[in-house]
């Protein structure tokens, strides 16, 4: 089974600062990779995904993530944080061999943005 590790359950940044949320996966075969965001009292919303092709993936709200096979990582970044980015962020993967795409999630990282 896949294992997903998100380093740091809480990350705090100032408005305008760089956001970096870390995600590592365990599989030796690169899976499909996803970042989801959850705002208070809402469901999980897809930020971005990597399946094939370019390893730097751009998502919504100015976020991007880079797939690094050698590091088994898929870290999420945003150059300049905004107050509205405060939310919980989940990294998730599924197996390429899994037709129906069962997702394995990390524990989540709560992002706080200070004014």
Partner 1 sequence: EPEVTQTPSHQVTQMGQEVILRCVPISNHLYFYWYRQILGQKVEFLVSFYNNEISEKSEIFDDQFSVERPDGSNFTLKIRSTKLEDSAMYFCASSGTRTGVSREQFFGPGTRLTVL
Q: Which DSSP helix (H) or strand (E) runs through 90? A: strand 87-94
CA distances from residue 67 to 24, 39, 104 in whole angstroms, order as listed: 10, 24, 17
Per rule CB under 8 A, is residue 46 in the interface with partner 1? yes
Task: Please report whether residue 102 would count as binding partner 1 according to CB under 8 A.
Answer: yes
- Toward partner 1, which CB reaches closer, 15 or 110? 110
Asked if 74 interacts with partner 1 (CB under 8 A), we say: no
Burial 3-24 (b: 16+ CB within 10 A, else e): ebebeeeebebeeeeebebbbb
Count, residues in the chain? 115
**44 near partner 1, judged by CB under 8 A:** yes
Q: Which stretch binds partner 1 (CB under 8 A): 18-26, 46-54, 59-67, 71-79?
A: 46-54
Contact positions toward partner 1, by CB under 8 A? 32, 34, 36, 41-46, 49, 51, 90, 92, 94, 98-108
């Amino acid at each position: 089974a896949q294992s997903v590790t998100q380093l740091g359950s809480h990350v705090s940044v100032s408005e305008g600062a760089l956001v970096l949320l870390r995600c590592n996966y365990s599989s030796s075969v690169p899976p499909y990779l996803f970042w989801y965001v959850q705002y208070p009292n809402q469901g999980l919303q897809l930020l971005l995904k990597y399946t094939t092709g370019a390893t730097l993936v751009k998502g919504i709200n100015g976020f991007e993530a880079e797939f690094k096979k050698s590091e088994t990582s898929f870290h999420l970044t945003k150059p300049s944080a905004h107050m509205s980015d405060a939310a919980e962020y989940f990294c998730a993967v599924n197996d390429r061999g899994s037709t129906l795409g069962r997702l394995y999630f990390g524990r989540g990282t709560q992002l706080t943005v200070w004014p």
